[in-house]
Structure 1
Amino acid sequence: MLKDLTAVRAIYPDHEWEIVEEEFKPQYNLRNETIFALGNGYLGLRGNLEEGWSGPPGDTIEGTYINGFYESEPIPYGEIAYGYAERSQTMLNVTNGKLIRLFVGDEEFRMQNGAVSEYRRTLNLRTGILTRSLVWRSPRGKTVRLRIERLVALGQKHLAAIRYEVTPLDCDGTIRLVSLLDGDVGNLTATDDPRAGSSLTVRALQLQSKRTDGTYLELMQRTRNTGFSVMAAAEHCLTTESGYTLAAVDGRVATGVEFAIEARAGVPIRLEKYLAYATTRDLPEEGLSEFGRALLDRAKGGGFAALREQQRQLLEAFWSKADVTIVGEPGIQQGIRYNIFQLLQSAGRDGKTNIAAKGLSGEGYEGHYFWDSEMYVVPFFLYHHPGISRKLLEYRYRILDQARRRARQMAHSKGALFPWRTIDGEECSAYYPAGTAQYHINADIAYAIRQYMQATGDWEFLKEYGAEILFETARIWADLGEYIPQRGNRFCINCVTGPDEYSALVNNNCYTNLMARAHLEYACDTAAWLRQNAPAAYQSLAARIDLAEEEIDAWREAARRMLIPFDEASGLYLQDDSFMDRAPWDFANTPAENYPLLVHYHPLVIYRHQVCKQADLVMALFLLGELFTPEEKRRNFDFYERVTTHDSSLSPCIFSIVASDIGDVAKAYRYFMATARMDLDDLHGNTHQGIHVANMAGAWLCLVQGFAGMRTANGVLSFNPRLPEAWREYGFKIAFQGRLIQVRVDRRGAMLTLLEGEEMTVMLQGETVLLQKEIRGFIFDLDGVLTDSSEYHYRAWQRLADEEGLPFSRKENEQLRGIPRRESLLIVLKGRKCSEVQLAELMERKNRYYQELIQRITPRDLLPGVAELLAELRAAGLKLALGSSSKNAAEVLRRLGIDAMFDAISDGHSVSHAKPAPDLFLDAAAKLGLPAAACVVVEDAAAGIQAARSGGFLSVGLGPVTRVAGADAIFPDLKGIRLADILAALKAL
């Protein structure tokens, strides 16, 4: 039963690119630790406070996690049978390196002691930086300002860093910063809720060694049972104008360093802490220490600012393809971007790890990987960063031998059976009716491989990994199913569990049989393709796994005769053979507090009733939608909606997609609302246990495959878009077969734009559409492109520098090309400390000098070739815009006499983020009413070229190749350049 969300109030204020906590409330600490978690697919840090937690122990989960690093114990059974899962696997909470304790005199900073003001914690989704700022007044009246930044490096998976700045505001004296590596950590123990806690009975990590060497710290620990070692190391850099002393700190299972600084009021103290984590699952044990030290030396040498900039650039590249825009509901825009950001932080990208149900944000489900990966997360990455999807699928190949062993345990003489819950490939679900019995996982993985191949055409993956997975898993169906005479000799698959965990050990689960049929057919088609196109690879694989042609023939026959349970009288596909024979669940008399049912009723009570935990047959309506008529979809959706509780977070998004498919956009929107902000608004009341990864990917699926109706079939991409009433517009990008396509949907309809790759045909609302690159507008920078106002800028900066006694030269002026005024001023100041008020005064003074100088500009100051090119572009019917960081751009255009030639101006007043952010050019394109792909940016600065590329624009660079190397076409200047020259250069791409 879908909850009414109309009265739900947002927990965090609406910010399109930020999650902000404006007031610290201890009672919400657990939830916020999840929301402000950081990760990079390998390493995850919960959003714990650097100083540690001083409240009740149950109000914090101090968590640091490494994807795939686990402990295992025998699973205790009161009664055991052959083939039960034998050992648990639990992703471990490892050494806490976040700890930095602050002492002002002898008073320790704690959020709940003294008084906190000006508090703000911000997770910036564009930069990947978590920032906490506040002013703390100690119980004895000493006041300090804190600003703490944290990142987990997306480009260096073993690395994290913290920048901790404290400024005493009204006190001199000793300030101590104590930085620790604390190995006295453990996991949550199991609770009455099977979704939370672990089964570990003792602390998993044992101390091997610890050391302190000046500012370098290192802690080595080993798991008791799996025998894995983990190294945590830290290096520090203290920046202060005062003297300080250094002392080692020793603990039983901890090591640290203390900085004692003689502080002065108003003078900031900055500590940068670099953290490295690595395990013997990555490197030989004897190399861990050397690896960690070298990594931290490099990080310290480059500094926190360099890591922060690398993080920003990586996220800029990611968002340039992955971003989804929604116009009309800022809260939903924030929610979907937060979901996308957390998916990036959670997904393993090394082919050895996958994506846990809670990502790297918490300990729910013990860090296990489920079929959620293939059905929800792989599609999300597939259509904008397919390389990540490939790595997630490569993980399945890595555990293929374990799947083969599991198949033998389950009495299958051939083939591979993938586990329901696992980390390292072994089944670790102790409850087999809802675990091992979910044979559909084999078909789900096959489906994901098929989708990957349709979207990428990555035949090397198919030959090296995919085909072997397909064939080995297909063998299970042939062995599991039987031709049953009483069912007309149809191929039946008995005693399995489908996606719906409230119906276990059933015969002929419809979803399972439909997906198994598709799996067998695809395996046969893949074998035929390999025989035709890669015969040597096929023969090698067939010999290695002893695959005979007779087996493949048997697969095709089983698919042809597969039983699909269907009731002619009602026109319903039966979830399983007995689903309609069960008594309907008494929803009317089930109290709201008794949901989810699994924690309030014995499984047998649930199993004997007609009730679904989540989408089951409805999921088949989505994944295999081409098999059903619109009337069948509507009829079956309506029936199964009435009996589904949505007790699983996997469910609402699937119902949203199918509701869109049958044209019920209002209902699709209501289901989407249950997914888009599930964690941000804590809709299930369990965000403290960790994020809901599959639901986050499901929100993206709702929009792209639901509202936009995107599907792939037989290598053809199609869209059938709809627009929710509350939105004015939405948009996203899709990578498909080497192309990048931008999709925009508004009240007028859908606009598809080819951004990258060769022309292609797609289907749009049943009609064939040819996508080609088409240029309809030009966006010009000002300085160095239309006129050389750099001389005026130089003279204005030179005058300011002379007045301030600062050295400045023409060579240094070149560094300012394309850089906004504030950033330029900071370069000119060469590290001189200034308050914000002083900076504002200096910028205003420089601008005043510049404005005085530009009064001399006339049309004669147009650069050669500009007037002729602008006239030609206007005559060709192309739209023109100016995209300049200058706040004086409009005045300069007027004085040049070309202001009437421009349809739009985007300048320093238009956007908040300057180049190399793409905002300036995106704003200009929006004012022209054109998509980025239809515009060419003409620039002479590296920052401008970078901005154009990240925004999806074609770019023309003017000047030396060394400066504009990233441009799509390069000319020395515009002298003699015509439209045909530009088009020819761009066509050569």
Structure 2
Amino acid sequence: MNQDYIQSNPWSIIEEGFDKERVKSSESLFSIGNGAMGQRANFEESYSGPTFQGSYIAGVYYPDKTRVGWWKNGYPEYFAKVLNAPNWIGIDVSINGEPLDLATCTNIKNFKRELNMKEGWYRRNFIATTPNNIEIEVVATRFLNLSHDEVGAIHYQVTPLNADAEILFKPYIDAGITNEDSNWDDKFWNTTNIKSDKNRAFIESHTMKTNFNVCTFMQAHLVYGDTIKDTPHSLNQEELSIGFEFSQKVKKGEKVSLVKYGGYTVDRNHKADKLTEAAHTALDQVSSLGFDGLLEEQKKAWARIWEMSDIAIQGDVKAQQGIRFNIFQLNQTYLGTDSRLNIGPKGFTGEKYGGSTYWDTEAYCLPFYMATKNQEVARKLLKYRYNHLEKAIENAEKLGFTNGAALYPMVTMNGEECHNEWEITFEEIHRNGAIAYAIFNYSRYTQDYSYVPEMGLEVLIGIARFWQQRVNWSAHRNRYVMLGVTGPNEYENNVNNNWYTNYLAKWCLEYTLEQLEYVQQEHPNDYKRILDKTQLGNDETGLWKKVATHMYFPYSEEHGVYLQQDGFLDKDLIRVADLDKKERPINQHWSWDRILRSPYIKQADTLQGFYFFEDHFTNKELEKHFDFYESFTVHESSLSPCVHAIQAAKLGRMEQAYTFYLRTSRLDLDDYNKEVEEGLHITSMAGTWMSIVEGFGGMRVKDGKLCFTPQIPEQWDMYSFKLNFRNRVLKVTVTQEGAEFKIDEGEALEIVVDDKPITLSA
């Protein structure tokens, strides 16, 4: 059974009724962010029940020393932890001296959370009776401002319902926080200064080892009737925290509110010795606008985002809510304003996985940002990898590769590999190919070929050198083989000749050779500069051609399919449909040994190759491979259903495509994999967008033109989306009757619909 407590609504995520068992899941689902920072939906007031506290600052991390039972050469020395940052949202509340705590309150009713995605705010309200029998109503609204991205705002309102009461608010900031996933219980933060100034407070601290300097700050005032009180009753300062007290006698039925602003200034953006000064400036700006003024700004900023990135669906509220939730979380995580940042797999919603970027960014996120922002945002994601090229070369050197071969990390914060599982760190090398594919995908979509001579060619050369050194010649097969790898399907480790990895390597070598030729002809000065820098010669490129031409691919004549890897047919080929449902998900019921010996596929592997390179294969070949591998796929990776949705749609199997779409779009909302309390699956959310645009809309770029083969699930009346394509904004609307294409902005454009060319006028 999947969870089903989230109410269907086109623009909001809504939970009604308080259930202690759901608190941690809801903390993930109602998370908020603004690209620069984010937080789980923890309660502002104290809560003694099970909770997972989490506030995060973009780009701030800690290198937690690797914990393994034995050390092997080449192991990464640390695992980059996404750091739980000092907490600024805390507001302890007492009613006639009794602390407000939903774990100890009785008769909790009208409990409701709402995450308003259209306007970018989160609200929680409830009525509860405290242990001293005072019934109160609480309405708490908060958001992280997009325009002033160092600041968040909280409006916390309390109304005593059955008696007059003295309400005490204690807003505080607290640096005494820890990570749940610490390897050694290290101290991640060192607090250096705590101070206050009237109704403002500041904690200066820095991360251990990485030495990121951060000032956590707050400002608070009380509102009762027409009176604003900005002078606290008293100050509470402890070793790692600082807070104020505001008390107010409140008549039965009257409202009292605490307004709190808080956030972080970081030495990534300011001088380290000027962080408190920068915090004062940020607070001056937001307090002059006030809570309501800031909220209006927030609504306008989100309206601008939705204007371009919304996908509207009519006739299916669950499907509509799912896609908007995914688009909303992607925009909360990354807005493309800073090329030093990337898209972490949990975003600002949890600690799991660590690191700020995986291959997910290049394979899944780049198309979303390319089409819903502009090509500059996508270019920044590619520039991020170019900036880390030297580290990628170092990563390869640690494993014994030479001559400038580059192995991009599986998990990273600064370009260094920091993933600790050997079968992934050393063997899941297909990630290298995803970066090369992203360069190809970006150039194809934008027609901006300047990235390749400026930066991309150096990246491609490093990747090509890696592939050429990673294969070895098999005299037995008379082919180049690739031994000891892990493909995208992590339920198979240390296999030989993973088809997807071998195919990607061959393609990377050929693509790099093509780009060398292009740069030599079109950008001779860059070509000379790059050859001088990389010391690339004809002997080396000749070897690349030889490897690409003679790559081995496992194939089954019996089944007429490429085999996921050598030995796949040696497995006990029981299909997923014949598995006992009580044993699903298998990763929570089976030993790892049993999983590794099974034929079950965590996510698209061979089919990932058919997705990337669909032009290389016929529809009949796709159908054969899809039918074979889908029957063994358990979809226990968040990255899985979207690829299958796109391919099912390409094969005209819309009912199946729709089922996969619902699964990918509501993966977290319905908690398919029973793990949402750990955080959301941010990077796979871009795959949900792809399911509609590339799946149902059939959007492709072929021969330099935008092409569509639009279809619509029978459950929908209409869907529409926009694409920013080469400085034109194209709106696509598909109904049961047909499809409409129009240019919203920019010059005329020729597109292809169902293989027929159409010119759209401006």
Q: Same fold (TM over 0.5)?
A: yes
Cα 1:750–1:173 shift into 2, 3 Å: closer
Shift of 1:408: 0.7
Residues 73, 54 of structure 1: alpha-carbon distance in 2 compared, 3 angstrom cutoff: closer
Q: Supply the distance in 2 between the matched residues of 1:504 and 1:721 (Cα, whole angstroms).
A: 38
Partner of 1:155: 147
Equivalent residue letter for 1:42:
A
Q: Which has the higher contact order (CA 8 A, sep 6+)?
A: 2
d(CA) in 1 for partners of 2:462, 2:537: 12
% identity of equivalent residues: 32
Task: Find the partner of 2:458 among 468, 473, 494.
Answer: 468
Q: Cα distance, 1:34 vs. partner? A: 0.7
Taking the TM superposition and a 5 Å limit, the aligned residue runs for 1:475-554 are 475-488=465-478, 490-554=479-543
Corresponding position: 1:620 with 2:614: no
Do the aligned partners of residues 8 and 590 (structure 1) sit closer, same or farther apart at CA in structure 2, a change above 3 Å counting?
closer
Residue from 423, 429, 432 that aligns with 1:433: 423
Structure 2 CA distance, aligned partners of 1:456 and 1:620? 22
Q: Where do residues 219-238 of structure 1 align in structure 2 (5 Å cutoff)? A: 219-238=203-222
Deviations 1:200-229 (A, max 9, x none): 433322322211222111112233333333
Secondary structure of 2:245's counterpart equals strand
1:165 corresponds to which residue? 157
Contact in 2 for aligned 1:167/1:265 (Cα 8 Å): yes
Corresponding residue for residue 60 of structure 1: 51
Match of 1:883? none
- Kindly tell me: are residues 163 and 390 of structure 1, through their superposed partners in 2, closer, same or farther at Cα, counting changes over 3 Å? farther
Contact 1:168 1:264 in 2 (8 A): yes
Pairing 1:250–2:237 present: yes
Aligned to 2:83: 92
Shift of 1:264: 4.3
Tell me the distance in 1 between the aligned counterparts of 2:107 and 2:652.
55
Q: 1:119 to 1:504 in 2, by over 3 A?
A: closer
CA shift for structure 1 position 266:
5.2
Specify the SS of the correspondent of 1:658: helix
Deviations 1:707-751 (A, max 9, x none): 111112342221112211211211111111111111111122221
With 338-347 and 171-180 compared, the bigger mean Cα shift is at 171-180
Q: Secondary structure at the match of 1:364?
A: coil
Verify the 8 A CA contact 2:37 2:57 in the aligned structure 1.
yes
* SS of residue in 2 equivalent to 1:249: strand
Say whether 1:446 aligns with 2:436: yes
Q: Secondary structure at the match of 2:354?
A: helix
Say if 1:416 and 1:472, in contact at 8 Å, map to a contact too: yes
In structure 2, the partner of 1:104 is 95
User: Following TM superposition, by how much is the alpha carbon of 1:591 offset from its aligned partner in structure 2, in angstroms?
Assistant: 4.4
State the Cα distance separating 1:144 from its structure 2 match.
4.1
Residues 54 and 201 (structure 1), Cα distance of their counterparts in 2 relative to 1, 3 Å cut = closer
Change over 3 Å in CA distance of 1:384–1:553 after alignment to 2: farther
Amino acid in structure 1 at the alignment position of 2:51: T
Unaligned runs of 5+ in 2: none
- 2:324 is aligned, of 337, 360, 371, to 337
Q: Distance in 2 between matches of 1:666 and 1:267?
A: 54
SS in 2 for 1:743: strand
| Aligned twin of 2:200 | 216
1:371 matched residue in structure 2: 359
- Letter paired with 1:358: K
Q: Whole-Å Cα distance in 2 between the matches of residues 676 and 587 of structure 1?
A: 22
Does the aligned pair in 2 maintain the 1:182–1:254 contact within 8 Å?
A: yes
State the secondary structure of the residue aligned to 1:309: helix
CA contact (8 A) 1:595 1:647 kept: no
> 5 Å matches for 1:782-797?
none
Q: Secondary structure at the match of 1:361?
A: coil
For residue 155 of structure 1, give the secondary structure of its aligned residue in structure 2.
coil
* Distance change (3 Å), C-alpha of 1:151 and 1:631: same
Unaligned runs of 5+ in 1: 1-6, 190-197, 774-989
SS in 2 for 1:366: coil
Give 1:738-887 correspondences, 5 Å limit: 738-773=727-762
Q: Distance in 1 between matches of 2:703 and 2:270?
A: 42
Name the CA shift for 1:251/1:771 in 2 (closer, same or farther; >3 Å).
same
| 1:563 aligns to 2:563 (yes or no) | no
Distance 1:724 1:84 in 2: 48
Deviations 1:263-314 (A, max 9, x none): 4455543332111213344444222222222212222122222321222112
Alpha-carbon offset, residue 178 of structure 1: 0.8
Three-state SS of the structure 1 residue aligned to 2:263 is strand
Corresponding residue pairs, total: 755
Deviation at 1:36, TM superposition (A): 0.8
1:381 counterpart residue number = 369
Q: Distance in 1 between matches of 2:220 and 2:612?
A: 51
- Partner SS state of residue 502, structure 2: helix
Conserved? CA contact 2:344–2:683, under 8 Å: no
Whether contact under 8 Å (1:73, 1:87) holds in the other structure is yes
Q: Does 1:327 align with 2:314?
A: yes
Closer, same or farther: CA 217–325 of 1 in aligned 2, 3 Å: same
- Does structure 1 conserve the Cα–Cα contact (< 8 Å) formed by 2:646 and 2:657? yes
Which amino acid is 2:550 matched to? R
Rounded Cα–Cα distance in structure 1 between residues aligned with 2:591 and 2:160: 59
Aligned to 2:626: 637
Letter in 1 for 2:441: Q
Match of 2:173 in 1: 181
Tell me by how many angstroms 1:564 deviates: 3.1
Residue of structure 1 in register with 2:14 after alignment: 20
Equivalent of residue 51 in structure 1, options 42, 45, 51: 45
Within 2, Cα distance between the matches of 1:614 and 1:729?
30
1:418 to partner: Cα distance: 0.6
TM-score, with length taken from structure 2: 0.94
1:82 and 2:76 matched: no
Distance 1:170 1:581, change over 3 A: closer
Partner of 1:487, secondary structure, is: coil
The AA in structure 2 aligned to 1:374 is: E
- 1:183-202 mapped onto 2 (5 Å cutoff): 183-189=175-181, 198-202=182-186
Tell me how far 1:174 sits from its aligned partner. Answer: 3.5
The 3-state SS of whatever aligns with 1:176 is strand
* SS of corresponding position for 1:162: strand
In the alignment, structure 1 residue 576 sits paired with structure 2 residue 570: no
Q: What is the rounded CA distance, in whole Å, between the counterparts of 1:200 and 1:278 in structure 2?
A: 28
Tell me the distance in 1 between the aligned counterparts of 2:607 and 2:503: 12
